[in-house]
């Protein structure tokens, strides 16, 4: 007994070639989006703007502004907490933007190995 393929799966060569072209196009779009996202900057602040951090899409700190009002030699821990909070928020913003952009390109598909592109 021969197994029957669902309609549209016969002569698999053309369908496979079309799928390969679509995958190649998606990969090119993802690579272009990754380059664009890496060039972007993300800014976040903590403590009501007392500490502001700007990072690149590659998650490198580009700029940090600390208000002199928050610099208290007797409370270094608060300053450390504010810096940590601002950096972490900027990283979350960058990662959220990357995830949303890649989901738009992939249509929300789990791309397995292609996830390493970003």
Q: pTM score > 0.95 for this model? A: no
Q: What is the DSSP string of 47-98?
A: TTTTEEEEEETTS-EEEEEE-GGG--TT-HHHHHHHHHHHHHHHHHHHHHHH
Domains of the chain with CATH codes? 43-95 (3.30.1310.10)
Query: What's 59's DSSP letter?
Result: S
What average pLDDT does the segment 12-32 reach?
86
Please say whether the beta carbons of 37 and 57 come within 8 A: yes
Q: Two tokens at 73?
A: 């030699």
* pLDDT of 65 higher than 90: yes
Query: For residue 115, what pLDDT band results from cuts at 50, 70 and 90?
Result: very low
Residues 24-58: pLDDT tens digits?
A: 999 999 999 999 999 999 999 999 999 999 999 99
What's the pLDDT score for residue 110?
61
């Amino acid at each position: 007994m021969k197994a029957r393929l669902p309609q549209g799966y016969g002569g698999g060569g053309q369908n496979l070639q079309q799928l390969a072209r679509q995958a190649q196009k998606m990969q090119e779009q993802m690579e272009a989006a990754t380059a664009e996202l890496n060039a972007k900057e993300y800014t976040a602040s903590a403590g009501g703007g007392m500490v502001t951090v700007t990072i690149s899409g590659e998650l490198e700190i580009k700029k940090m502004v600390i208000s002199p009002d928050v610099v208290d030699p007797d409370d270094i821990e608060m300053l450390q907490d504010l810096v940590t909070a601002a950096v972490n928020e900027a990283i979350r913003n960058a990662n959220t933007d990357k995830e949303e952009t890649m989901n738009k390109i992939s249509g929300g598909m789990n791309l397995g190995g292609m996830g390493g592109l970003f």
